[in-house]
Amino acid sequence: MQLVFASNNPNKIKEIQQLLPDRIQILSLSDIGCEEEIPETANTIEGNAILKANYVTEKYGYDCFADDTGLEYFRQARNQRFWLRSHLQT
């Protein structure tokens, strides 16, 4: 399974990858060819994380999660939303 972490920070990517089982591969924005700056126009950190995850899913078709000041949000390509931690525990 591949998930995109809406980040190009190699330390964040590595840290998240180490927390997950081997069956889940974390891809960065650059791994999927997303070089543009993703707009962060929401009024809250949660809103910005949601904007980033939705942007990647809608434009690139990958399941994606994003953070904004440490908040994590997960968006599945099938338009179902889950908090990442809850999703990975099931």
Whether the CA torsion 20, 22, 28, 33 is positive or negative: it is negative
Q: Annotated catalytic, 31?
A: no
Catalytic residue among 31, 63, 67, 68: 68
| Residue 57 burial class via C-beta count within 10 angstroms: exposed 0-12, middle 13-18, buried 19 and up | buried
Six token digits for residue 42: 């929401």
Amino acid of residue 19: L
Round to whole Å and give the CA distance between 22 and 39: 31
Residues in the chain: 90
Known catalytic residues?
68
